[in-house]
Amino acid sequence: MEKQIIKTSNAPAPIGPYNQAIKAGNTLYISGQVAIDPVTNEVKKGDVVAETHLVMKNLQAILTEAGYTFADVVKSTIFIMDMNDFGKINEVYGQYLDGSYPARETVQVAGLPKGVSVEISMIAVK
């Protein structure tokens, strides 16, 4: 099985030794995305709703670059700093999906890169 690196300038560049996504066969593995504006490379933090929208837009840009959509997502992992934000994050997350929701877990963590409030990774299959 061939491994293909997926890169787009419409999502933030990696902040470490990893890629935005890897396509292996018909499966796309998207690295965790945080609220970094791909145009300015600035972190947007403070408002968890705005952060989550930016994270979802970054994920959408990577999916699009690879030829996938949110409908192809089979698994999501959401990391959040404060479980009290779960409802707000969940509401935004749901706006990007068409009702055929993927499997998912949401985990509260002690810290996230760049001090953001939310990070989301995805796996998609065609």
12-22 pLDDT, tens digit per residue, is 999 899 999 99
Q: What's the pLDDT score for residue 100? A: 84
Contact in structure between 75 and 120 (CB atoms under 8 Å): no
Domains identified in the chain, total number: 1
Q: What's the pLDDT score for residue 45? A: 83
18-55 pLDDT, tens digit per residue, is 999 999 999 999 999 999 999 999 999 889 999 999 99
- Helices 86-95 and 48-66, interaxial angle, to 10°? 30
Task: Tell me: pLDDT of 1 over 90.
Answer: no
Distance CA 40, CA 12 (A): 9
DSSP E strands, 34-117:
73-80, 103-108
The tokens for 78 are 């959401």
The tokens for 20 are 């935005």
Range of the domain at 16: 3-125
The tokens for 22 are 């890897």
69-110 pLDDT, tens digit per residue, is 999 999 999 999 999 999 999 999 999 998 889 999 999 999
Task: Indicate if the alpha-carbon torsion angle 44, 93, 113, 24 is positive or negative.
Answer: negative
CA angle 63, 33, 58 (to 5 degrees): 45
For residue 33, the domain's CATH number is 3.30.1330.40
